[in-house]
């Protein structure tokens, strides 16, 4: 059961957290037409740092979890 939880956490990191960091940057850079009622202090450093740390956590996990995450991503 613990191994499954670890794998699912790696899926969350791959499918949600890393992509959200990239989405913040892309949304800010390419969608100037929509309202952006907030400012990110030291933009884009926090988003890049967060993406780097989430990527580090993903790649330091067990190899089985990485394989499971990539297969989960491919399966859609």
pLDDT, one tens digit per residue, over 45-75 is 999 999 999 999 999 999 999 999 999 889 9
Q: Taking the CA atoms of 67, 59, 41 and 33 in sequence, report the sign of the dihedral they define.
A: negative
pLDDT value for 69: 92
pLDDT value for 19: 92
Mean pLDDT of the region 13-34: 92
Q: What is the pTM of this model?
A: 0.82
Cα 34-23-27 angle, rounded to 5 deg: 20
Structure tokens at 26: 């892309």
């Amino acid at each position: 059961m613990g191994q499954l939880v670890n794998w699912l956490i790696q899926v969350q990191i791959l499918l949600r957290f890393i992509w959200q960091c990239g989405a913040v940057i892309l949304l800010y850079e390419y969608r100037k037409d929509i309202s952006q009622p907030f400012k990110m202090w030291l933009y884009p450093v926090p988003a890049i740092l967060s993406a780097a740390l989430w990527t580090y956590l993903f790649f330091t996990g067990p190899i089985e979890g990485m394989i499971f995450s990539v297969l989960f991503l491919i399966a859609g």
